[in-house]
Amino acid sequence: MLRHHNLKRRISVKNSNNTKVFRKRNRISYVGLLVLPLVILCYWEISKFHHYFGYAVTRTTALAPLQNPFVINDIITADSSTSINRASPASTSTGLNIRTENKDSTYPVTKYFAATDSASDKATSEQPELRKMRKKFVAIHIGPIKTATTTIQMDSSQNKNFTRALANDGVLYIGKFSKRESRFEKGMECSRGVITGGEVPENHSTGTISISGLTFKQKQDVIKKECWGSHQELIQRSLIFSSEFYSVAKYDFVGDLFPLYQQVFIDYLGYDEIIIIGAYRRYGEWLSSAYKQRAKQTCLHQAKRSCLNVWEYMNKFIESSQYGTSFCYNLDRSLLPFIRDEQKFAKTVTATAASIETSSATNTTFQDVNHKGSKIKFDILNYFQLPREKHYNSITTELYCKSLGTGRTENACRYSRDERSNEEINTIKNKGSNDIVKYHDIVVEAKNRGWIKKPTYFTDEGVEETTHNRRIKEVVTLEEYHTKELGLAGATNLPLLCPSQSQLQIFLDKSLRFEELIMPSFSLTALGKEEHIRSFWELANKKEFCWLDIERLFQNASSWEDLLHKRLVIDKW
């Protein structure tokens, strides 16, 4: 009260000092008018930043060094006796699936904006509290080949509605077929140089920065500003990277690439979790499809030699103790090694292992250690073995609705599950059969006999593959003649050689062992072992593992015309 009284007296007293008092007050007012807009502007910018990136949690504390073990957690198994938890907080918060009794519930989703690219900003500003709760993640889809990887990659990169839905989720797809893959790889290589103590490019210029002797915080600044400085959009959101090359045999994803990802994203860039996603396909189907892929890469684009027959190719891998090929690892070598080292990794886990939770729809494989501090998670896509129904109408839906879950990719899940047309969903990339190999070998044999002088080549623009899209016109014409004009089929109306019953049984036994290894609980369900055996023999009866008896087909033929009009018209051999 005394100060207030004295202040009033100072202002009201009329003396020689009165003018100075008022001038002082006016100066304060002018300064206030200048500062106030700056304060408001700063507050506005901070608010925008919070809305856009509030879901990111940045850490500056170093985790374990590259050679040290990392934490494994949230690994779910599968069983037929339970169902997906599509609405519980547990399944929403982790994005993985835990048992529930609410079998008829549906995935919770927020409003989906698909009209414009600015919809992402609108969705973010309307739901800041949801964005704050989301974890910043890196999802790595490792394949292997021939498990619908191309379908996921094309959906996530070429479908504008998918990319907008992902943007609304605060997620960026940077994998195969995107235009960001090379930028991402450059950022990773630069980050590797910083972590290992070498030299790195100075903000992508011609100069270099020596980072020898830098502290963790200094290295962190170099990684953020120099390695990712011109590509900040790649590290400001959650990321999805899909490439079957993570399963290519010549790359060491387990020993080299993944530890680098862990250090860069968890230790230095402050991401909350890394999710490794593999895909399971029954060994018999997968190996046959891998043969077709290999034929496209090695022989179908040229007429110099015939292709290795399907059984000769497959049998050398059937006899092996492993489940991949010479070109590509399967899940036993690309994903299971993480789990086999669980005891070593568990040294960093203080919580005890929880009981195994299962779901008939998730069908994932591994034990859930339920450690809240988990940074590494796993899941397995099982689309090929699941019935095609509402929630699993495509493998892309399984990725976004089950593996990542509505807690991470709710808008992408909703679009994939509910918004897409059936025509779009049913578009299968790289589909085909092994019959094309038979027609190719017929043309090669005819060329070797001098019946075809010089094959004609053309480029097949409809091929989605990034391998060879060169095709032989005579092969395509022959296939059309035999299948469309004559109404016959390569699998049933050509002379074939097939493996014996005992050879096929060995093949089936190995396929069953692989499912028990990867999907132990699922193999015990109604869709498991019994269906596995049935579908295998169905493939065998369709002659999927048989190859062309070239000598018998060409027997008594003296010209190309003889072959076309006397031998290929036979419907029963």
160-190 pLDDT, tens digit per residue, is 999 999 999 999 999 999 989 999 999 999 9
Q: pTM value?
A: 0.72
% of the chain beyond a pLDDT of 70: 65
Instruction: Write out pLDDT tens, residues 356-404.
Output: 222 333 334 344 433 455 799 999 999 889 887 766 789 999 999 999 9
Predicted confidence (pLDDT) at residue 355 exceeds the cutoff of 90: no
Instruction: Write out pLDDT tens, residues 382-391.
Output: 988 988 776 6
Tokens 């492993």 label which residue? 322
Q: Which of 225, 196, 228 is nearest to 212 (CA)?
A: 196
Instruction: Write out pLDDT tens, residues 86-142.
Output: 233 333 333 323 222 233 333 333 332 233 333 333 443 334 444 556 889 999 999
CA–CA dist 286, 284 (Å, integer): 6
Query: Residue 345 — pLDDT band, cuts 50, 70, 90?
Result: very low
CA–CA dist 444, 558 (Å, integer): 15
Instruction: Write out pLDDT tens, residues 236-254.
Output: 999 999 999 899 988 878 7
For residue 333, which phi and psi values (nearest 5 degrees)? -115, -15
The token pair at 188 is 């990773």
- 3-class secondary-structure state, position 292: helix
For residue 60, which phi and psi values (nearest 5 degrees)? -120, 10
Mean pLDDT of 17-26: 46
- Out of 50-59, 122-131, 167-176, 257-266, which region has the weakest mean confidence (pLDDT)? 50-59
Distances (CA, A) of 98 to 102, 356, 403, 412: 11, 9, 12, 21
Q: Which amino acid is at 36?
A: L
pLDDT at 230 (0 to 100) = 85
pLDDT at 200 (0 to 100) = 65
Task: Give the range with max mean pLDDT: 59-68, 212-221, 527-536.
Answer: 527-536
Query: Residue 269 — pLDDT band, cuts 50, 70, 90?
Result: very high
Predicted confidence (pLDDT) at residue 431 exceeds the cutoff of 70: no
Query: Residue 33 — pLDDT band, cuts 50, 70, 90?
Result: low
Query: What DSSP state is assigned to residue 306?
Result: P
Which residues have CB under 8 Å from 271's CB, separation 6+?
A: 136, 137, 138, 238, 265
Mean pLDDT of 488-508: 97
**DSSP string for residues in 432-455:** --THHHHHHHHHHHHHHTTSSSS-
CA torsion angle 403 91 388 82 (round to 10):
120
The token pair at 295 is 């034929």
Mean pLDDT of 177-206: 82
CA-based torsion, 546, 551, 555, 560: positive or negative: positive
pLDDT at 374 (0 to 100) = 77
How confident is the prediction for the chain on average, in pLDDT? 75
CA–CA dist 92, 374 (Å, integer): 16
Predicted confidence (pLDDT) at residue 533 exceeds the cutoff of 80: yes
Greater model confidence, 349 or 321? 321
**Angle, CA 540 vertex, CA 533 and CA 529 arms, to 5°:** 10
pLDDT at 39 (0 to 100) = 57
